[in-house]
């Protein structure tokens, strides 16, 4: 059963990454490890959105491995690269909600999948036996709370909302009161889409952050940036910009089922040192997965 389930999302991810898979498969199916191979591999890695810096670093490490382990076949090099990619995206920092009560504050630019992802996370934790609560702190966009309310109903999780235009920090304040009263153990906060260069919106985020720190001083808060993987290098720029202005503890890459080339996930983790916590592989409530370095590297390179 578990195997079947895994295949479901794994094949969605692989379908999404088929373009990237094809470049790598064509390359790795040829013979011999020579200069041409490394040159073409670098090109494929950059095309796959891994960025120059990460591609070069991984290639140097691969050359080293090929030499030390006397690898002769491209198939062997492919497996070695898979392990290197998995190592590059692996983090040891535990994810706060897995250790006890926690807050997850979701941030990001417009339309990247924040609200959808909250619904999916609420569902995952609810099904695992946790008691999530949702705060509808996107009071900016018309119908934002209705959209989130539909997800809350689907996941069967309580939600606190105010009128459109209300102070998002006040929503969070009320949600925390309800969270405590109901004995919940995971507070999920949705926020309006914002550009990192809009100062007032960034101040608003900091205000929300302060309310959480003041009202729940002993509860760890994960600040997760949602990024649309189909936007490629733009996602990297967004991550850099948000890192400059708020304390991110992790990222979520969405839309990896679409036209994303996927390598940007590796680049962000490798160059910005922020853990990737989840990946989105569709629009449904079950289309969210914990980020697994090995599975992801395997899907990217099409290794079984
Ligand atoms: N294919 C696919 N679509 C997704 C995924 N995640 C979200 N979407 C879609 O992306 C669109 C935007 O999702 P929202 O969750 O509304 O995004 P948002 O960041 O909350 O948007 P704003 O609140 O307007 O900033 C919707 O059509 C979602 O169904 C995903 O993993 N894969
Ligand atoms: Mg939203």
Given ligand 1 and candidates 106, 225, 283, which is best to mutate, with the most ligand atoms within 8 Å of its CB?
283
d(CA 125, CA 235): 27
**Is-contact 184 203, C-beta < 8 A?**
no
**Residue 226 CA to ligand 1 centre (angstroms):** 10
15 has a pLDDT exceeding 90: no
Give me the pLDDT at residue 3, please: 46
pLDDT digit string, tens, across residues 89-119: 998 899 999 999 999 999 999 999 999 999 9
Q: Which residues contact 142 (CB under 8 A, 6 or more apart)?
A: 164
Q: How far is CA 122 from the centre of its chain?
A: 15
12 has a pLDDT exceeding 60: yes
Which protein residue has the closest C-alpha to ligand 1 atom 13? 113
d(CA 294, CA 125): 23
Domain 2-89 = CATH 1.10.3720.10: no
Which protein residue has the closest C-alpha to ligand 1 atom 17? 113
Domain 96-292 fold = Rossmann fold (3.40.50)
Q: Domains of the chain: which residue ranges? A: 2-89, 96-292
Pick the atom of ligand 1 nearest to 147's CA: 16
**Is-contact 166 186, C-beta < 8 A?**
no
pLDDT digit string, tens, across residues 130-176: 999 999 999 998 799 999 999 999 999 999 999 999 999 999 999 99
Question: CB of 193 closer than 6 A to ligand 1?
Answer: yes
């Amino acid at each position: 059963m578990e195997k079947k389930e895994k295949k479901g999302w794994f094949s969605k991810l692989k379908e999404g990454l088929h373009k990237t898979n094809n470049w790598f498969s064509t390359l790795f199916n040829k013979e011999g490890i020579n200069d041409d191979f490394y040159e073409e591999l670098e090109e494929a890695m950059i095309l796959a959105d891994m960025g120059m810096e990460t591609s070069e670093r991984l290639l140097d490490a691969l050359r080293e491995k090929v030499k030390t382990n006397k690898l002769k076949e491209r198939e062997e090099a492919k497996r070695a690269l898979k392990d290197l990619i998995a190592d590059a995206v692996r983090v040891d920092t535990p994810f706060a909600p897995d250790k006890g009560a926690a807050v997850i504050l979701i941030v990001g630019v417009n339309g990247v999948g924040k609200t959808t992802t909250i619904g999916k996370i609420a569902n995952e934790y609810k099904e695992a036996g946790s008691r999530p609560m949702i705060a509808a702190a996107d009071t900016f966009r018309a119908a934002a709370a209705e959209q989130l309310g539909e997800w809350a109903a689907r996941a069967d999780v309580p939600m606190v909302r105010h009128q459109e235009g209300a102070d998002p920090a006040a929503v969070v304040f009320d949600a925390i009161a309800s969270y405590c009263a109901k004995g919940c153990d995971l507070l999920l906060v949705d926020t309006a889409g914002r550009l990192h260069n809009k100062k007032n919106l960034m101040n608003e985020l900091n205000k929300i952050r302060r309310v959480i720190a003041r009202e729940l001083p002993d509860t760890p808060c994960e600040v997760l940036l949602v990024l649309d993987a189909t936007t490629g290098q733009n996602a990297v720029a967004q991550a850099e910009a948000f890192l400059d202005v708020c304390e991110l503890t992790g990222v979520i890459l969405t839309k990896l089922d679409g036209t994303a080339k996927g390598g940007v996930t590796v680049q962000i983790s490798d160059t910005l040192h922020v853990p990737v916590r989840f990946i989105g592989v569709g629009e449904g409530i079950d289309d969210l997965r914990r980020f697994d370095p090995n599975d992801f590297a395997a899907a990217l390179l099409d290794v079984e």
